[in-house]
Amino acid sequence: MASPPKPVAAICNLTEEAAGPNLPLHSPPPPHGLATMTAAPLLSLTDAATVAAAVAPSRAPTRARTQATPRFPAAVSLRCRRARPLTAAAATGASPSSAAFHGECYVVGDNIDTDQIIPAEHLTLVPSKPDEYRKLGSFAFVGLPTAAYPVPFVVPGEESSRYAVIIGGANFGCGSSREHAPVALGAAGARAVVAEGYARIFFRNSVATGEVYPLELADSGASKECKTGDVVTVDLDSSVLINHTSGKQYKLKPIGDAGPVIEAGGIFAYARKTGMIASKSA
């Protein structure tokens, strides 16, 4: 006898119990990204499989995932973090869309863990509260050792960063599981992380919250060749990172099915947009 279908909340592991007191999923929605929980109706097995596939990192996207998508002319600066939606498709309801993001990059090395991204003492901040969401952004990367990273990601006393793109090495986002890590980066103004590899939980949380695009390099070298402050462009449609300062280009692995979920603002926003669960206005 077939088992009953599971709700979206069960698939995403974003239950209120798992979220804990620091992420009250019934509070008003944050400026963008972290979706709030409502009583989630059951999905069909087909819809459940679609949602589960979207939040799982894929190392070998199929041709079906890289089909041509509608093109839009706007290339949006990543520093305009709070001016969502970022693309013409998001503004008009079309999906999916292509996008190109442009700005300065912040470069880190291998094995950047979540405690370096947002230390545990700041996890009492509640992202669904706008003022605390901004505070989370001000603490992004404060756990990095100053000897190795003398230039701060966010200048002390400010809430947002000048750096649009984060470039990292292998195993980015390792360590403890905390949704606050991608939220802090997104709140600071970052729109994409480009790394040689990710800890699976950071990739999953980035997609589920819709805060940043976790893009993986097809080849190594960018984290060692790029320098903090270089001007770069991330082209999602062409899957390429362009360093305008050095003149070099780096191929990216296509974001695949996770792209529309991030663009929608996270897994619950995507489920509402596609009709998998009822919209808030319904």
Arithmetic mean of pLDDT, 236-265: 95
Residue 115 pLDDT greater than 90, yes or no: yes
Tell me what pLDDT residue 161 has.
97
Which of 33-37, 70-74, 96-100, 267-271 tops mean pLDDT?
267-271
Tell me what pLDDT residue 259 has.
94
Structure tokens at 117: 């991204």
Arithmetic mean of pLDDT, 239-258: 96
Are 49 and 41 in contact by the 8 Å Cβ rule? The answer is no
Arithmetic mean of pLDDT, 124-132: 94
Model pTM score? 0.67
pLDDT tens per residue across span 88-108: 233 333 333 448 899 999 999
10 CB-near residues (< 8 Å, 6+ apart): none
> 21 or 210, which is more confident?
210
Handedness of CA 117, 121, 124, 130 (dihedral sign): negative
